[in-house]
A and B are shown apart, each in its own frame.
Chain A
Amino acid sequence: MNIIDRRLNPQGKSLANRQRFLRRAKEQVVKAVRDASGKRGIQDIENGEKVTIAAGGVREPSFHRAAQGGVRDYVVPGNKEYVEGDTIQRPDGGGGGRGSEGSADGEGEDEFRFVLSRDEFLDIFLEDLELPDLVKQKVKQSESHTLTRAGYSVSGSPANLNLVRTMRNSLSRRIALKRPKRDEIRELEEMLREAEEAGEDATQIQALREQLEHIVLRSRRIPFIDPIDVRYNRFETVPKPIAQAVMFCLMDVSGSMTEHMKDLAKRFFMLLYLFLRRRYRSVDIVFIRHTHEAKEVDEETFFYSTETGGTVVSTALEEMQKVVQERYPHNEWNIYAAQASDGDNMSSDNAKSATLLRDVILPMCQYFAYIEVAAEHNMGLSALGRETELWRTYKQVQSPERPLAMRRVRSRREIFPVFRELFAREKAGA
């Protein structure tokens, strides 16, 4: 008997099968994920999800008999009072529940349930989304550099000497120039010594001595390592892509913002956060809320504490500018900003906000998304084409080359579609 402990064998042997399965059921899984994400809060969107998909696409058909019709015989245990010829009321489900045949082999499930892991869920959830113009801006803006190996050079510092290359060159040169080997010299010396000891005739000794002198000289002329052999590792500086991102959440918390509106805004911020986290190793978040004055706050305060006051948008932009200058130099950080507001602004502030946005904020941002949240019942308003103060202001700023996107959101349902619209792949300029 052999007893083998397999517990330490690699786990997840069926991972490849699972991936194949997910690929196979992709359409349905995507649909299920979208449905599921509509139903639940953004907060727990990151957790894995039990999804139910229609069995159709992942059905494994086989030739088997229909569950209905025809004549069937079953032998079952546990007779109590039946005698031959008795009749039994057909159980619900047309006799299917009886005996082993009807239901036991039933691949007749209409739905297939299983659990997606968190990563799988997010992958599908955020599929097809891309950060706009990411690559271009990264290269353009990055100012940190890193050294990478780039072949060999003939000059460099001793620390970078590449020994293998150098010795290889040296060896080939020595072979090519027929530099005498150490053994040859030693042999000749030996012969000379023997000849001298044996007291052989002078001419022969002389000849040997000359020969020896010759090769010693030759070996001296052809150096073991010549400067032309030497090679150094060459390094090149390449711009390092900036791999850190900061996300600014700007929100109007004045009295006109209802809980519903804040909820919409929060959902949008969460989505953006999730999305950025998929792309960057670390994402910082800065919450800035504003009324007629702006303040950087923590998340709790940001979403849940109420404030009264007027609405001056430019204060938030100024605050953001300040934070960027203090902590997030824009050549080292990818800066994303999302602003949520109901569109109110003091008329006197519009011009200032527009200038600030155009000249200061947008140039340093990777992306600036403006989400205008509206009360759910307020359906007719934008349909009538009445644009809010802020919307009009930002619209003037908007141009194809500026990374500014604007959307209106009225209900929870719209959050995800709007988000997708903003980040959908191949959508140049958003």
Chain B
Amino acid sequence: MTAVITRPEALLYDGVEWDYDKIKRVYDAIEHIALKEMGLDVYPNQIEVITAEQMLDAYSSIGMPLMYKHWSFGKHFARDEMMYRKGYRGLAYEIVINSSPCISYIMEENTMTMQTLVIAHAAFGHNHFFKNNQLFQQWTDAQGILDYLEFAKTYIAHCEERYGHAAVERVLDAAHALMSQGVHKYPKKRSDLRTEQRRERERQEYQDQTFNDLWRTVPKTAAGPRPAKSVSERKKLLGLPEENILYFLEKKAPRLEHWQRELLRIVRHISQYFYPQKQTKVMNEGCATYVHYQIMSRLHETGQISEGAFLEFLHSHTSVVFQPEFDDKRFSGLNPYAVGFAMMQDIARIAEKPTDEDRQWFPDLAGRGDGMAAVREAWANFRDESFILQYLSPHLMRKLKLFSVRDDAEDPYLLVDHIHNERGYRDIRKKLARQYDLGYLEPDIQIVDVDLAGDRKLILQHRVTNGVLLDESDAKAVLRHIANLWGYEVQLIEVSAISEAILKEHAVTAPSGIGVG
């Protein structure tokens, strides 16, 4: 077989300085490799050049180009800025936004090689992942997100003007505290952010049109004890149990104003938008890193970038995928770039040059050829947890020397329960997958009941796994936020998932004064 070697072309650029012409040339070359050779499928790209300061700005508004105003963003900015100014921490080379067109920020300080790397990494790697991964397809609306954020920003600014900063801040604080509890984990209806905006307008208009002051004068029904409904009937009416606490409060909290519900909805939508990103850290970074590695290697092979540029690239690439070992001072958990990149390479290797072991472990994948296609399939159909469960090979476990440790607070020692050997592979793989399972990582908290006939106490339940309780002071603070929104007493019960025994109870009384309003 004679390899078809592309005619060596002239260098795309030379030296470290970048300009628009070079970027355009590089972009075209990368696009050719990405789309034609690697078969990637991307949203249209928009590349924005920003300064370091703007990068810091972007950091503080969770990477989005526009965001509503809130003190917590200012807090993050203050800290990031200090870390950066004092030199404790560098800045990311890029930020990429899951939108259509897909916006990638590149910093003006970067060298031309870095810009090339960033374009390959963000504008093609992440972009492909955003467009093709099923989680993103199912949960996020790339077309609508920027418009929705614009709407959210003006809506919240409008609320601040109308109801005062303090009142808005109070609702947003509470909503932010519940952000992780503000996602639907199982798809109901595909949310389209454009219609969300329209619907909010329509709701408001309908209310304005149908307002009739006469209703106020209608005598209230005698406040006698209403016939108590049965527990199951009541729960059904309220849609309980409900794990999306923000959703529940938005729909059912008795004392919220219309605009307060809308704020909750905005925060909930944003939280939902980021939900897939939280579940695909390893895959997303793995995908982008694999893509940039392939593209840069290809550019080098075809003589489009110089040896010097390629060395510069390798230097930053290796520091990105560096995985310190557990006893290293620099160790701070598994590096998603390292794990992701290693797994992508491993998948391609298994597809193209499998060993006997691989054939045994991955009968469908091993030796099917076309590693790129195999990797693309993985990108489309998995999230971190299922991806690791499906694809982590014994070969890679040995390479990373993975072992699992059990930390039981009642034992004086940590126990090494599995290592990278024949007996341990499956268990390690299962445990590592769990380490990336949001459903397992985040405490399982649900609203289980409301005492409607009585004092309207809201009851939440935390199902405790492995005996790990909630952090008490934080839990209390969040409960206070919930009570602020709910307007009445709130109780959280921690029960063991196995024995149903009550382990701990937290309660927060109704906020003094009149609810949030």
Contacts and interface: CB of A to CB of B under 8 A. Distances in A.
A395 B177 CA distance: 59
B141 to A, nearest CB: 21
Interface of A: 1-7, 9, 11-14, 16-25, 50, 58-80, 82-90, 94-95, 98-101, 103-104, 112-115
B416 A13 contact: no
B467 A77 contact: no
Contacts of A103: 332
A286 B97 CA distance: 59
A6 B54 CA distance: 9
A105 to B, nearest CB: 9
Contact of A84 (B79, B334, B408, B424): B424
A79 B402 contact: yes
Interface in B212-261: none
Given A6-B49, A7-B49, A75-B431, A88 B77 contact: no
A27 to B, nearest CB: 14
B71 A63 contact: no
B438 interface: no
Contacts of A83: 416, 419
Given A3-B48, A12-B53, 20 more contacts: A1-B24, A14-B57, A14-B77, A60-B173, A61-B474, A62-B179, A62-B478, A63-B181, A69-B469, A73-B435, A75-B432, A76-B405, A77-B401, A78-B324, A84-B418, A87-B413, A95-B414, A99-B405, A99-B435, A101-B441
Interface in B277-322: none
Nearest to A95: B407
A79 B419 contact: yes
Given A6-B48, A63-B478, A65-B470, A115 B431 contact: no
Contacts of A88: 405, 413-416
B49 to A, nearest CB: 5
A1 B46 contact: yes
A60 B176 contact: yes
B4 interface: no
A6 B331 CA distance: 36
A424 to B, nearest CB: 26
A24 B71 contact: yes
B177 A84 contact: no
12 contacts: A17-B74, A58-B71, A62-B180, A63-B180, A65-B469, A65-B471, A71-B468, A75-B403, A83-B419, A85-B416, A90-B413, A95-B407
B356 interface: no
A20 B469 contact: no
Nearest to B51: A7
B353 interface: no
B47 A3 contact: yes
Contacts, number: 280
A98 B75 contact: no
B400 A114 contact: no
A1 B45 contact: yes
What are the 7 closest A-B residue pairs judged by CB atoms, nearest first?
Answer: A78-B325, A100-B333, A21-B74, A70-B468, A17-B74, A114-B78, A61-B477
Contact of B82 (A12, A60, A115): A115
A406 to B, nearest CB: 41
B383 interface: no
Given A84-B416, A98-B407, A115-B81, A77 B400 contact: yes
Given A3-B47, A74-B435, A20 B470 contact: no
A4 B45 contact: no
Nearest to B323: A77
Given A60-B177, A72-B468, A87 B47 contact: no
A14 B404 contact: no
A83 B404 CA distance: 10
A98 B333 CA distance: 8
B260 to A, nearest CB: 18
B58 to A, nearest CB: 8
B480 to A, nearest CB: 9
Contacts of B331: 76, 78
B409 A68 contact: yes
B93 interface: no
Nearest to A18: B74
A101 B56 CA distance: 27
A114 B401 contact: no
A63 B81 contact: no
B108 interface: yes
B406 A72 contact: yes
Nearest to A15: B74
Interface in B52-81: 53-54, 56-57, 60-61, 69-75, 77-79, 81
A170 B445 CA distance: 78
Interface string B141-176: 000000000000000000000000100010001001
Contacts of A60: 72, 75, 173, 176-177
Interface in B27-45: 27, 31, 44-45
A63 B45 contact: no
B77 A18 contact: yes
A59 B477 contact: yes
A387 B292 CA distance: 81
Nearest to A21: B74
Contacts of A21: 71-75, 77-78
Contact of A98 (B101, B180, B405, B434): B405
A95 B326 CA distance: 13
Given A13-B57, A78-B325, A100-B333, A84 B73 contact: no
Contacts of A62: 177-180, 474, 478
A84 B428 CA distance: 12
A19 B74 contact: yes
Nearest to B444: A63
B85 interface: yes
A63 B181 CA distance: 8
B175 to A, nearest CB: 11
Interface string B385-407: 00000000000000011111111
B211 interface: no
B20 interface: yes
B491 to A, nearest CB: 14
B416 A114 contact: no
